[in-house]
Structure 1
Amino acid sequence: MRDTPRLLALSLAIACALPATALRAADDDQAMRQKASDLQAITVQGNVLGASRTEDVRTYAGSRQVIARKDLDTGAYRSLDDALQHVPGVKIFDETGTGVLPQIMLRGLYESRSGRVQVLEDGIPLSLAPYGQTSLSLFPVTMNQIDRIDIVRGGAAVQYGPNNVGGVINLVSKPIPETWTTVLGEKVTAGGKGKFLKDSSVSTGGYLTPDFGVQMDADWLKGQYWRDHSDTDVKNVRLRTEWWLADDKVLKAEIGRYVANMDLAGALSVADYRDNPRDATRPLDEFTGRTTRSAVTYQQDLGAWALFDSSQFDWTTFGAESTRNFVVGMRRASTQTWSPDLPPQLRQSAPRGFSVYGTEPRLSLRIDGAVSQQWTLGVRAEREDIDFLVGNTGLDNGVYTLARNWKFRDRAFAAYVSDAIGFMDDRLTVTPGVRFEHLDSDYHDLATGRTTQNNIRNSLPGLTVGFKVSPRWYVYADAQRSLRAPQVTQIVFGDNLDSELAWNYEAGMRFFPAEGTSLNVDAYRIDFDKQIALDNTTRTYGNLGKTRHQGVEAQFEWSPVKALKFDLGYAYLDAKQESGQYAGQRVPYTSRNQYNVGASYDLGETTLAVNGYYFSKAFTDAANTPVENAIASIGPLPSYAVWNAQVSHVFLREKTSTLKGTLAVNNLADHRYYFRGIDTSPWGREPAPGRTFTAGVELAF
């Protein structure tokens, strides 16, 4: 990917070199534009998320929120995971402020590198391996690619699995424009003390003919974030196409390449944190990642068929070839392995390779009438091959020792069926469904010859009920079974482990008293059984047994006039361990109270926005130890509040061209707060980002 700058330059040349006459012809062809618009509006009927637009939320039978593109543009968000901080029930452990290695907790469910969150891009899983390695150690998505974020906390488990105990986050790509459009973007974030991070982006594409569209998105993140030892070089390029084979069928394809190289500042001892949170005492820690992802989707409207009044078919096939490696400084003595302020004696590397392929056909069938039915039937077959190496190199003698040489082979099959039964002109919808998961996992230690097989078979029923009381009121309830399969590292130390299983219960309502005003409230309970957790101090896996997560989430939006908008969010979370030595104690890392507040004002071509979030204190161990220990591996995490602001201004609007600029300040008060337990730095305090200033400019033509 050293040629990425050349790719950026080439894309600009392509955009500028397209024959002007061809573009004018496209502009003049009103019929072509209308056709493309109409066809792109078609969505698969069996997709419970619809098009993931704001209007899809109004009558969705589950708690759900969509972050629209305008909010992403004007909300002082540095990255996609930064935007999620402002959603009730979502907590982010932000170690860099770059969004490259997201740490997402949803409804109190957390594991390193977002391991207990199902994140999708256009409905396709983004995790390294959706069954065997659910973490987001590679996150090949950047802001310039995404149009909106759909956060679905309930009601989607039957169709979107596995690893959906807390819900599903779907990142929706920008649509391919009807006429050729190029967008150039440049952002510079100043973190202080000479630290600057540049984000250069380009998107170019459109419909070349009435039936064929193409889009290329590229992004290059280069520089340092706000701490020492934070060199960052991340490149991301994606090419998408849409080919309408006929008015009722479309073929979509995409391929992307993502390359990440980062120094990791890591955690600090208590003394070093107090002295200077910008410092870094782990000079060997770094991260590299590579992935090539591709997907092909075929969609067809089948019309009336047999007993059904309408039907649709879609088939998605996806694949990814990925590698990632974390390098950390280590001590030879196991009791000192992870201390953040001792000089390293070993350089440990942990390269992993992933080869993932999946295919998923789905059929949607509808019967109209006094009692309507919407059947959805789908299957998914997936193959995962994972190479897992760990090796140590002595800094004093240069001797390399292979510590682990593991290979995993996962073969998964899933099938699901649901029937949305509509009564009273579809005002009342009852949707029973079931998902079946079949997974065979084989582990082979290439160094010792040891082999282990782990097989799971689970049926996961679900039921959702939604009722449109009036045009202003909608109420819903749902119950569903969810799972996460045993992960590769856990299989090594287990004997045919069971899945982590959960029952999710939810009820809520939406109220729309006036245009631009809405209130969403939900209450939920998650009974999570057979949960596997990592003890940070001993670095061993243990089974917490049962945990219970229950709470209330509310989101209020008010727009007294069109130009002015306020929003207020709140989440209460009571997450407790229900078995084992620490039964009755809080689940680690969970904050009981979360507040989100925001306001924006459009003043002509200028938009002013301010937002903030607050999280109450949390504990980092199962014992809820109230006092931080000497190595800062356990203890409380203090509460924190962060405020952000942004001003956006459109400098030019001329025909199809737009020039706009932004200025944002994150963590306005430069509030000091920290996390711990961040993957390769589990001991010590991991400083959260301090105050940063971001200036950006974007030209569309």
Structure 2
Amino acid sequence: MRTPVPRALLSLSVLAGNLLLAAYASAQDTFTLDLPSSRLEHALNDLARQSSSQILFASDIANDRPSPALKGSYTLEQALQKLLEGTGLHAVAKEDGTFIIVPGTATGQNVQAEAPAPLAPMVITGDVLGNASAPEVISYAGSRTLVDSAQLQKPSVRGVDDALQRVPGVKIFDETGTGALPQIAVRGLYESRSGRIQALSDGIPLALAPYGQTGLSLFPVTLAMVDRIDVVKGGAAVQYGPNNVGGVINFISRPIPRTWETNLKEKATFYPGGRQLWDTYVGTGGFLTDNFGLQLDLNTLSGEAGREHSDTDVQNYRLRGQWNIDDYRDLSFGVQYYKADMDLAGALSPEDYRHDPRQSTRPLDRFEGDTTRVWGTYTEQLGSIGPFDSVEFSWTNFAHDSYRNFVVGLPFTPDASPLTRQDGPRDFKVWGSEPRLSLSIDDEQVSQTWLVGARYVSEDIDYKVNRQSLATGVTTPFRDWKFNDDAQAVYLSNAIGLMDRRLTITPGVRYENARMDYDDGLTQVRKDNRSEEWLPGLTIGFQATDEWYLYANAQKSLRPPQVTQIVKEGDVGAELAWNYETGVRYIPWDGLRVDFGVYRIDFDDQIVYSATTDRFQNIGSTRHQGIETEVFWTPEALPELDLHASYAYLDAEQRSGEFKGNDVPYASRQQFGVDGQYRFAEFWTYSLDGLYVSSAYTDAANSADEDANATVGELPAYWLWNTAIQREFPLQDQSVLTASAGISNLFNRQYYFRGIDTSPWGRQPAPERSLTLEVNYKF
């Protein structure tokens, strides 16, 4: 529900320094303007001065936004439209000639105002994904869904991967119920530890090694530190690579508030059997001066996660900063320490699952890991240079030092006594640097925005496996691998705006060059692998009318060979795929939006292992195609009610090998979601959501019957329902106390997964019904 802009947050800007102008310029008068490229706040001030007008706006919503150069003759309305284009802001004209700048969506001449937005999060200006605001999502030339803070803050949402289930085409294999080890598949593209998604945190890669190991076997993200999740399934491959066949998922942090603010939150989740999981969060931050802000976040998870042998201890500490050096230069930065120590309950045999799905028969399985991460982005507005009206330079650097270890009992047979204890410690040292230049030409006939960038990533990986005989206590090194990876990428795109920018055509190309050097400390074998590829892309977006937006895109995507795949003899090249999308967004009136898209992915070079030759080879070919749709509806007669529904149909087919024509394993054909949120009695909010996922096979042969160890067999379809209620208690000095309760898996639906990494055989029980109570105090 949108709310009007409070008067107390509006600041008056009169551009000649004269606050007592007796006459205001008509919005229809023409002015000769000369505004350099700068921040939006300064551009609005300059515009008001040169046109002798009054412009009201909240400083927070304009402070960190760039604006293009503006030269020539314009009416005041035309000038405001140019300056605010693409910002998600709109100018509302008052009868006295004053203009008020507000966030919101526009339909024709009507603007629905929203509450003022806080300082923009740490997303690079000039980024094709922008700040992931609602207007940017609506006009994005590809399939895109934004999971907003309201969805994430429901107490029935256990973790960030849980929240992603409302996105059509995204499937979650919930191993722990905590979100600490996500298993995410997009459009039927699945690999253990979410290995086939490009995961980012505020635009920074999350993978342990963005090229050599894309799986999220250490996931330094906790729900309390995420403000919204941007899921982009098409059109971003040129700028964001590699490993973007299924798209990009960006976990975006809450912006640093302009005034100091502190949040204290305690969440407790209660499971049958007396098991409890506690989620404690403390966040404090704001701007210490007009141009320098800090945000400190502390988040811990402790307790049990619903099953035997599920002790959990997660610690996540992060400090972020924003320094607006002057009117044209900014520096955002952050440092994070994350540590996880968890018992893993593992899979069960069919008999044990039927007896008690909450038990664990794998007493040795556990996970531990930690990471220290640092990053920073410098941005500078360079103004007008040569033929370009606006030039912006940004430079991002990131590094992390990570460790993770899975301990398992062998054999994998779920009800067998372990004979061997295996641990697999891995160390990762990664550094990356990415400069980027955005150059814009703002012409009345044809506008252009050139984006050119480069990236260098260095990865140093120690990969060990040790096995200890439980009978003798003797430990034997099983693997001792070292990898040194160097990757370079460059990319170029040009967004061409035609028909008053209603039509945007963006051709682009990305070049990837990755080298991986492998050294086996046990056998002394050394080898290297090189992946080199040009990856073209084209996106087209057309605002046909105020109600209709159409898009289409085609892009070539790549994932380099993973470190575990280059150790065998034989040549293994990069996995390549072509992605195609077309779709439409329809907004017939304020309060209703319909998204519909069709896609196809031709994946021709998937890497598979051949037991006959003991080699990895590029022989796997699959085709993924389907439809995805979402409907967002706030009834005009009942604006307190927000409704959302989504549907995805997936046809994922194997196109090579013995089982050509069969379904791709783990790919469910149908997924349907529905959720609603109702605000009542001023401070109460009730929500209900449901999710249906159809059955799926777990092997290439599409075996329907389960074998004795449950290594194959069809996975069941399932319906899930969650519900929650929340109450706000406004206190003095604008502080707010919020209390809420939620039930996940309301009807205690029992279902299971299979093939999850360190417990690949048996039935992996999904989380059962749980009750979550939460208290949040903001002051």
- What CA deviation, in whole Å up to 9, does each residue of 1:622-653 have, x standing for no partner? 11011111110111101011000010110233
Output the CA distance in 2 between the equivalents of 1:388 and 1:548: 33
SS in structure 2 at match of 1:70: helix
2:663 is matched by which residue type in structure 1?
R
Distance 2:577 2:226 in 1: 31
Offset at 1:39?
2.5
Q: Deviations over 1:236-293 (max 9, x none)?
A: 0000111111011111110000000000000001100010000000000000011001
The reply on whether 1:38 has 2:62 as its aligned counterpart is yes
Query: Residue 300 and residue 154 in structure 1: after superposition, are their counterparts in 2 closer, same or farther (change >3 A)?
Result: same
Quote the residue 1:645 is aligned against. Answer: 723
Q: 1:539 to 1:520 in 2, by over 3 A?
A: farther
Q: Does 1:376 align with 2:451?
A: yes
Alignment partner of 2:564: what SS? helix
**Are 1:64 and 2:141 matched, yes or no?**
no
In structure 2, relative to structure 1, the CA distance for the partners of 1:262 and 1:534 (3 Å cut) is farther
1:601 matched to 2:678? The reply is yes
Residue of structure 1 aligned with 2:386, choices 306, 311, 318: 306
Q: Distance in 2 between matches of 1:239 and 1:113?
A: 27
Structure 1 residues 263 and 541, CA, compared in 2 at 3 Å: closer, same or farther? Answer: farther
Residue aligning to 1:216 = 296
Q: Which has the larger radius of gyration?
A: 2
Secondary structure in structure 2 of the residue aligned to 1:303: strand
Deviation of 1:147 after TM superposition, in Å, equals 1.3
Matched residues in 2 for 1:543 and 1:52: separation? 36
SS of the counterpart of 2:150? helix
The 5 A counterparts of 1:339-418 are 339-369=413-443, 370-418=445-493
State the match for 1:563 in structure 2: 640
**Higher RCO by CA contacts (8 Å cutoff, separation 6 or greater):** 1
Q: Distance in 2 between matches of 1:539 and 1:82?
A: 37
* Structure 1 unaligned residues grouped into runs of 5+: 1-26, 331-336
**Residue pairs, 1:9-48, within 5 angstroms:** 35=59, 37-42=61-66, 44-48=124-128
- Kept in 2, the 8 Å contact 1:75–1:611? The answer is no
Q: Secondary structure at the match of 1:366?
A: strand
Residues in 2 aligned to 1:256 and 1:433: alpha-carbon distance in whole angstroms: 34
> 2: distance between equivalents of 1:362 and 1:299?
9
Match of 2:424, SS state, is: strand
In the TM superposition, what whole-angstrom CA distance separates every residue of 1:9-66 from its partner, at most 9, and x where no partner exists?
A: xxxxxxxxxxxxxxxxxx9999999655533344755311010112111111001010
- Is residue 2:217 matched to residue 1:143? no
Tell me the TM-score normalised to structure 1 length: 0.93
Work out the percentage of aligned pairs sharing the same amino acid.
52
In the alignment, which residue of structure 2 is the partner of 1:550?
Answer: 625
| CA apart distance, 1:495 | 2.9
Amino acid at match of 2:500: D
Instruction: Using the TM superposition, name which of 137-146 and 641-650 deviates more.
Output: 137-146
- Aligned-pair Cα RMSD in Å: 1.9
8 Å contact from structure 1 (residues 365, 376) kept in 2: yes
Q: Distance in 2 between matches of 1:142 and 1:228?
A: 23
CA contact (8 A) 2:433 2:456 kept: yes
- Please give the alpha-carbon distance, in whole angstroms, between the structure 2 residues aligned to 1:623 and 1:662: 46
Tell me the distance in 2 between the aligned counterparts of 1:360 and 1:672: 46
Indicate if the aligned counterparts of 2:237 and 2:556 stay in contact, CA closer than 8 A: yes
User: How far 1:554 sits from its partner (Å)?
Assistant: 0.2
Once the two structures are superposed, the pairs formed by residues 290-689 of structure 1 within 5 Å of their partners are 290-330=370-410, 337-369=411-443, 370-533=445-608, 545-560=620-635, 561-603=638-680, 604-689=682-767
**Cα pair distance change 1:211/1:35, threshold 3 Å:** farther
User: CA, structure 1 residues 494+473, in 2 after alignment: closer, same or farther (shift >3 Å)?
Assistant: farther
Q: 1:393 to 1:44 in 2, by over 3 A?
A: closer
Is the partner of 2:566 in helix, strand or coil?
helix
- Range with greater deviation from structure 2 (43-52 or 150-159): 43-52
Tell me the distance in 1 between the aligned counterparts of 2:457 and 2:368: 26
Asked if the contact 1:614–1:641 (Cα under 8 Å) also holds between the matched residues in 2, the reply is yes
Letter in 1 for 2:706: E
> What letter is aligned with 1:624?
N
Q: Partners of 2:305 and 2:613 in 1: how far apart?
A: 31
- State how far apart, in whole Å, the 1-side matches of 2:705 and 2:607 are: 25
C-alpha separation in 1, matches of 2:422 and 2:331 = 45
Q: Which moved more, 1:389-398 or 1:585-594?
A: 389-398
AA aligned to 1:68 is D
Q: Give the residue type in structure 1 aligned to 2:378.
A: Y
Question: C-alpha displacement at 1:499, in angstroms?
Answer: 0.5
In the alignment of these two chains, the number of paired residues is 669
Check whether the contact 1:324–1:353 (CA below 8 A) recurs between aligned residues.
yes
CA distance in 1, matches of 2:426, 2:195: 16
Contact persistence 2:394–2:437 (CA under 8 A): yes
- Cα pair 1:37 1:178 within 8 Å, conserved: no
CA contact (8 A) 1:88 1:553 kept: yes
Counterpart-to-counterpart distance in 2, 1:587 and 1:543: 16
Q: What secondary structure is seen at the aligned counterpart in 1 of 2:63?
A: helix
Q: Any conservation in 1 of the 2:575–2:618 contact (CA below 8 Å)?
A: no
Q: Secondary structure at the match of 1:323?
A: strand
**How far off is 1:448 after superposition?**
1.4
Q: 1:535 to 1:686 in 2, by over 3 A?
A: farther
Segments of structure 2 that go 5 or more residues without pairing to the other structure are: 1-8, 14-40, 42-56, 67-122
